[in-house]
């Protein structure tokens, strides 16, 4: 049991630094992650820069195209009325009015004429000024803001026209306070200048057009004052702070209303993009920013150009924020794309690695399999060879067994012949006696017949027949005993076999005066009907052998008794024991150890071969039984026990069959 004893040290956990280190990414992993992050960041940054540049270029290009259109439209608008002074100078009434400014009728005619031309040309106003700058006639003569009687000698367009022939000016109308473009031309020349014809043109429609676009479009004059703007909040404000002198000049011309209106927009140049384009920042407070959701500083792409024929600059301002947003999207998409591509590449590489590992593993497995197959083939070959040699050995064994069996049979037969040889003296005697008697009896019978003594002759013949029968019985018994053949297990009646065996030794028993005692001990013959599984002929041979040995042992003994006991085995009812005992000299211990050895004999040469008991033991083994020499008590003879299996059901039915078989065999042998 694994328990903690008090005072025992606590089980140690893995050391903390090692555990933390095992959870930290390895150096190579960190390097790879950093490289990956750097790659993604570089890619995103490049994409951002590229997209922003592309977006900016698109803005510049679009703004330039727009400015092309706007500038030419503006120029067209400005030059649209260039023809007017020449047209008006053709009217004699105007020259007359300049010569006779007080002629009211003439003045009224000129006023109407100017109003008609204004209506036709869609100009804002046309008016005629004398050399002192006083308006003599005007298209708006009948309106509250009539120019008639107004003096515009301070206006640059009048001064320029008077001195140079023509004059241009953009500014607020000093009477109407409405902005407009003033174009003036001198009438009369060569020292006979009469006055100046001026046209005021409204550029409101142009402004209205611009306000519909995305960009902020504005036109600034040489001082940087914005006088046209798609964003109204910037009108009459300056791109850069005005110098005091410039402001004084503007005020003198009353160009843009009273002092203080020309506040700075706060447009700060940040970066030049091209000759006519730059990025400017507008910082709060600014009316433009006040209208945007982002009241912080805004960057604009500013594209500008000079309006041909003037000192004005037309400018387009485009918020750069959407472009930056798009660039950010591009950067994001690039980063995502790069991440996906990197992850995809890593996945593919990992997958390849796994596949390569699998292939390597499969190759290893195949190699191992091949090796295994080779081993199995080798082993199978060895096994097949071993099997073959085993079969050969078995065949050899079978042959040996058959040879042994044949040899045993030969030996048994030889033993039998030896027994017959041993018994031959007695048997010969047994046959010779009746033969001699037969001779006498037959001679006497002949005599009796010759003498007519019929009855005595018949009596002799009957005795002769009895003798012949007895002789036949002996020879039949001998022939049956000597029969050669393999052992066949069958139910054998012990009693009958004993009787047959005793019959064969009968002459010796009688001659040597041996007493045969059956069932010694209780003296009964209760077991004489026992039937065993055996071969009758073989069992008979064993018994004859034992009887002969007993008779040999008792030769010269004063007491000669052959005891035969048949009984069921006390320990195992399935076996039957036949005990053959004699009153001979008995078997010394040294002899007993070697009793069953072949060629062991204590008998004088020629008396025994020493094979009898060895053959008997072999026969008993063949019959599935045993033969053993019993340890005899001192001063008593020898005793042998035969043990055989009992026939099933004591084989009564089988025994009948066996008898029939034997009878048939006897008949076949001419018994
Ligand atoms: P053999 O009879 O030719 O000698 P056996 O194998 O039959 O051959 O007997 C071997 C020996 O066993 C005999 O020589 C004898 O010494 C001894 N023997 C056999 N039976 C008896 C017996 N009944 N009493 C004493 N000795 C015996």
Residue-wise pLDDT tens digits, 600-636:
999 888 778 888 999 999 899 999 999 999 877 666 8
Contacts of 466 (CB under 8 A, 6+ apart): none
Judged against a pLDDT cut of 60, whether residue 525 lies above it is answered with no
* Ligand 1, CB within 6 Å, residue ranges: 549-550, 553, 582, 584-585, 587, 591, 595, 600-603, 608-610, 612-614, 638
Instruction: Note the pLDDT of residue 23.
Output: 65
CA distance 362 to 369: 10
**Which residue has the least CA distance to atom 12 on ligand 1?**
595
Distances (CA, A) of 208 to 199, 212, 217, 305, 319: 21, 7, 11, 21, 20
Average pLDDT over residues 540-568: 93
Q: What are phi and psi for residue 155, nearest 5 degrees?
A: -75, 135
* Ligand 1 closest atom vs CA 418: 3
Residue 56 corresponds to which tokens in the numbers above?
Answer: 């900016």
Query: Can 84-202 and 205-321 be said to share one CATH topology?
Result: yes
Instruction: Note the pLDDT of residue 665.
Output: 54
Question: pLDDT above 70 covers what percent of the chain?
Answer: 87
Among 372-386, 417-431, 458-472, where is mean pLDDT lowest? 417-431
* Ligand 1 closest atom vs CA 600: 10
Question: What pLDDT, in 10s, does the model give residues 37-74?
Answer: 888 889 889 989 998 889 889 888 988 888 888 888 88
Question: What pLDDT, in 10s, does the model give residues 167-224?
Answer: 888 888 877 778 888 989 898 766 788 899 999 988 888 888 777 766 788 899 888 8
Contacts of 659 (CB under 8 A, 6+ apart): none
Instruction: Note the pLDDT of residue 259.
Output: 43
User: Residue 523: which pLDDT band, with cuts at 50, 70 and 90?
Assistant: very low
**Which residue has the least CA distance to atom 16 on ligand 1?**
602
Q: Report CA(602)–ligand 1 centroid distance (Å).
A: 7
User: Residue 520: which pLDDT band, with cuts at 50, 70 and 90?
Assistant: very low
Q: What are phi and psi for residue 150, nearest 5 degrees?
A: -75, 145
Q: Report CA(574)–ligand 1 centroid distance (Å).
A: 29
CA distance 200 to 183: 6
Strand locations in 202-276, DSSP E?
216-220, 226-229, 267-274
**Which residue has the least CA distance to atom 26 on ligand 1?**
587
- The Cβ-side half-sphere exposure at 348, using a 13 Å CA radius, reads 5
Q: What angle do CA 303, 306, 308 make, to 5 degrees?
A: 140
**Which residue has the least CA distance to atom 19 on ligand 1?**
549
Q: Report CA(601)–ligand 1 centroid distance (Å).
A: 6
Using DSSP's 3-state secondary structure scheme, residue 637 falls into: coil
* Ligand 1 closest atom vs CA 613: 6
Judged against a pLDDT cut of 70, whether residue 11 lies above it is answered with no
Instruction: Note the pLDDT of residue 118.
Output: 92
Judged against a pLDDT cut of 50, whether residue 511 lies above it is answered with yes
Judged against a pLDDT cut of 60, whether residue 4 lies above it is answered with no
* Ligand 1 closest atom vs CA 607: 3
Q: What angle do CA 523, 529, 533 make, to 5 degrees?
A: 125
Q: Report CA(272)–ligand 1 centroid distance (Å).
A: 144
Q: Report CA(429)–ligand 1 centroid distance (Å).
A: 24
Q: 205-321: which CATH number, 3.40.50.720, 3.90.79.10, 3.30.450.20, 3.30.420.40?
A: 3.30.450.20
Greatest mean pLDDT range, 266-270, 321-325, 453-457? 453-457
Q: Report CA(532)–ligand 1 centroid distance (Å).
A: 26
Give strand pairing partners of 534: 490
Judged against a pLDDT cut of 90, whether residue 390 lies above it is answered with yes
* Residue matched to tokens 């041996």: 514
* Ligand 1 closest atom vs CA 608: 3
Q: Report CA(590)–ligand 1 centroid distance (Å).
A: 13
Among 72-86, 146-160, 511-525, 644-658, where is mean pLDDT lowest? 644-658
CATH topology assigned to domain 84-202: Beta-Lactamase (3.30.450)
Residue 591 corresponds to which tokens in the numbers above?
Answer: 């002899």
Average pLDDT over residues 469-474: 88
Instruction: Note the pLDDT of residue 2.
Output: 44
Average pLDDT over residues 659-665: 56
| Pocket perturbation via mutation, ligand 1, pick of 582, 588, 613 by most ligand atoms within 8 A of CB | 613
Instruction: Note the pLDDT of residue 25.
Output: 66
Residue 587 corresponds to which tokens in the numbers above?
Answer: 């078997």
Q: Report CA(405)–ligand 1 centroid distance (Å).
A: 24
Peptide bond preceding 70 in cis form (omega within 30 of 0): no
Q: Report CA(168)–ligand 1 centroid distance (Å).
A: 172
* Ligand 1 closest atom vs CA 601: 14
CA distance 599 to 414: 13
**Which residue has the least CA distance to atom 7 on ligand 1?**
612
CATH topology assigned to domain 487-668: Heat Shock Protein 90 (3.30.565)
CA distance 495 to 575: 15
Decide which of 154 and 525 is more confident: 154
Q: Report CA(560)–ligand 1 centroid distance (Å).
A: 16
Instruction: Note the pLDDT of residue 425.
Output: 78
Instruction: Note the pLDDT of residue 386.
Output: 92
Question: pLDDT above 90 covers what percent of the chain?
Answer: 38
Residue 19 corresponds to which tokens in the numbers above?
Answer: 């555990």
Domain ranges of the chain: 84-202, 205-321, 384-486, 487-668
User: Residue 294: which pLDDT band, with cuts at 50, 70 and 90?
Assistant: low
Q: Report CA(614)–ligand 1 centroid distance (Å).
A: 10
Among 417-426, 528-537, 554-563, 609-618, where is mean pLDDT lowest? 417-426
Instruction: Note the pLDDT of residue 292.
Output: 57
Average pLDDT over residues 507-512: 91
**Which residue has the least CA distance to atom 11 on ligand 1?**
601
| Pocket perturbation via mutation, ligand 1, pick of 412, 417, 549, 631 by most ligand atoms within 8 A of CB | 549
**Which residue has the least CA distance to atom 13 on ligand 1?**
601
Judged against a pLDDT cut of 70, whether residue 503 lies above it is answered with yes
| Pocket perturbation via mutation, ligand 1, pick of 598, 601, 611, 630 by most ligand atoms within 8 A of CB | 601
Q: Report CA(582)–ligand 1 centroid distance (Å).
A: 12
What mean pLDDT is reported for the chain?
84
* Ligand 1 closest atom vs CA 603: 14
Residue 490 corresponds to which tokens in the numbers above?
Answer: 């069958």
Question: What pLDDT, in 10s, does the model give residues 405-435?
Answer: 888 888 888 888 888 887 887 888 888 888 8
CA distance 624 to 575: 11
Q: Report CA(413)–ligand 1 centroid distance (Å).
A: 19
């Amino acid at each position: 049991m694994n328990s903690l004893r008090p005072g025992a040290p606590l089980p140690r956990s893995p050391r903390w630094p090692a555990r933390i280190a095992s959870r930290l990414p390895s150096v190579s992993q960190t390097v790879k992650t950093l490289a990956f992050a750097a790659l993604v960041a570089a890619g995103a940054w490049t994409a951002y820069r590229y997209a922003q540049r592309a977006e900016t270029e698109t803005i510049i290009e679009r703004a330039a195209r727009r400015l092309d259109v706007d500038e030419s439209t503006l120029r067209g608008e400005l030059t649209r009325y260039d023809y007017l002074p020449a047209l008006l100078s053709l009217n004699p009434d105007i020259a007359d009015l300049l010569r006779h400014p007080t002629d009211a009728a003439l003045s009224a005619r000129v006023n109407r004429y100017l109003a008609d031309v204004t209506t036709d040309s869609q100009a804002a106003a046309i008016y005629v000024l004398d050399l002192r700058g006083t308006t003599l006639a005007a298209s708006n003569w009948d309106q509250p803001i009539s120019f008639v009687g107004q003096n515009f000698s301070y206006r640059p367009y009048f001064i320029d026209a008077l001195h140079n022939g023509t004059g241009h000016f953009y500014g607020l109308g000093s009477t109407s306070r409405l902005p407009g473009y003033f174009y003036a031309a001198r009438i009369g020349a060569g020292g006979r200048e009469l006055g100046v014809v001026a046209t005021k043109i409204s550029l409101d429609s142009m402004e209205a057009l611009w306000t519909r676009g995305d960009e902020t479009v504005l036109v600034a004059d040489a001082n940087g004052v914005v006088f046209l703007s798609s964003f109204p909040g910037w009108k009459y404000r300056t791109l850069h702070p005005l110098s005091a002198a410039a402001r004084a000049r503007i005020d003198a011309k009353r160009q843009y209303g009273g002092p203080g209106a020309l506040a700075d927009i706060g447009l700060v140049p940040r970066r030049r993009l091209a000759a006519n384009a730059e990025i400017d920042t507008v910082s709060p407070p600014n009316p433009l920013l006040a209208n945007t959701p982002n009241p912080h500083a805004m960057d604009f792409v500013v594209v500008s150009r000079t309006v041909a024929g003037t000192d004005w600059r037309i400018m387009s301002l485009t918020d750069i924020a959407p472009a930056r947003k798009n660039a950010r999207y591009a950067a994001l998409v690039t980063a995502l794309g790069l991440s996906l591509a990197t992850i995809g590449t890593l996945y593919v590489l990992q997958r390849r690695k796994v596949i390569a590992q699998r292939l390597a593993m499969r190759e290893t497995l195949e190699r191992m399999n091949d090796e295994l197959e080779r081993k199995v083939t080798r082993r199978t070959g060895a096994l097949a060879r071993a099997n073959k040699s085993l079969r050969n050995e078995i065949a050899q064994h079978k042959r040996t067994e058959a040879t042994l069996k044949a040899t045993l049979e030969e030996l048994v037969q030889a033993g039998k012949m030896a027994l017959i040889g041993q018994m031959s003296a007695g048997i010969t005697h047994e046959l010779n006696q009746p033969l001699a008697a037969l001779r006498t009896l037959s001679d006497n019978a002949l005599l009796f017949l010759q003498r007519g003594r019929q009855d005595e002759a018949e009596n002799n013949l009957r005795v002769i027949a009895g003798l012949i029968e007895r002789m036949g019985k002996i020879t039949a018994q001998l022939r049956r005993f000597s029969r050669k053949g393999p052992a066949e297990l069958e139910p054998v009646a012990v009693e009958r076999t004993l009787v047959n065996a005793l019959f064969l030794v009968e002459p010796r028993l009688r001659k040597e005066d041996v007493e045969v005692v059956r069932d010694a001990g209780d003296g009964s013959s209760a077991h004489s009907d026992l039937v065993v599984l055996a071969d009758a002929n073989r069992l008979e041979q064993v018994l004859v052998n034992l009887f002969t040995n007993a008779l040999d042992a008792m030769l010269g003994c004063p007491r000669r008794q052959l005891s035969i006991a048949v009984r069921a085995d006390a320990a195992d009812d399935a076996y039957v024991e036949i005990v053959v005992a004699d009153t001979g000299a008995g078997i010394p211990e040294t002899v007993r150890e070697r009793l069953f050895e072949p060629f062991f004999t204590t008998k004088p040469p020629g008396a025994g071969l020493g094979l009898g008991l060895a053959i008997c033991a072999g026969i008993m083994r063949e019959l599935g039984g045993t033969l053993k020499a019993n340890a005899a008590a001192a001063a008593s003879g020898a005793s042998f026990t035969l043990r055989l299996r009992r026939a099933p059901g004591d084989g009564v039915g089988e025994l009948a069959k066996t008898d029939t078989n034997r009878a048939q065999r006897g008949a076949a042998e001419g018994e």
